[in-house]
Amino acid sequence: MLNEICEHLHNWFDTRDGEYINRVADTFTISGGTISPAVSDTLVDGQYVRIVGSLFNDGIHVLPLTGLTDETFDGAIFGLAIPAALVTLATEIQSWEAANPRTAYTSESFGGWSGTRSVGNNGANITWQQAFARKLNRWRKI
């Protein structure tokens, strides 16, 4: 979910004062959960990193890296400084999405049950981006 949120915000939290926090571009090999060459000794366990240029592992991951698919790729790995409040909000968004699954219908009824989903001005179901826009806007980049 963090990947989708950062993409929506156009903000990967990979820079501070216009400089990359930690960016390593190289040919990387992932094997058995280990990445080589080593990304950086300035990154710490619990920190988020973004892998770019990989066929199987692109996206945001938390250190230590686990669950990655073995591969060799030319790309970059960025150290990220994702705010704890955004990580908490990501959990809230996931819960909201589970309670409000996407559907083509705004109302349904069957077997004695009926339900109506919240809709926006255009009559379509509200997305997580709309539902959480106010909370997300503080991190949004244009």
Q: What is the mean pLDDT of residues 98-110?
A: 70
Packed helices 84-99 and 2-9: angle between N→C axes, nearest 10 degrees: 110
Q: What's the pTM value of the predicted model, to 2 decimals?
A: 0.81
Which residue type, as a one-letter code, is found at position 104? A
Give the pLDDT band of residue 102 (cuts 50, 70, 90).
confident
Tell me, what's the pLDDT at 124?
66
Do the beta carbons of residue 114 and residue 108 sit within 8 Å? Answer: yes
Q: Which residue has the higher pLDDT, 10 or 17?
A: 10
d(C-alpha 26, C-alpha 48), whole Å: 19
Instruction: Render pLDDT for 71-91 as a digit per residue (tens, 0 to 9).
Output: 999 999 999 999 999 999 999
> According to the model, what pLDDT value does residue 12 have?
96
Collapsing DSSP states into helix, strand and coil, what is residue 43? coil
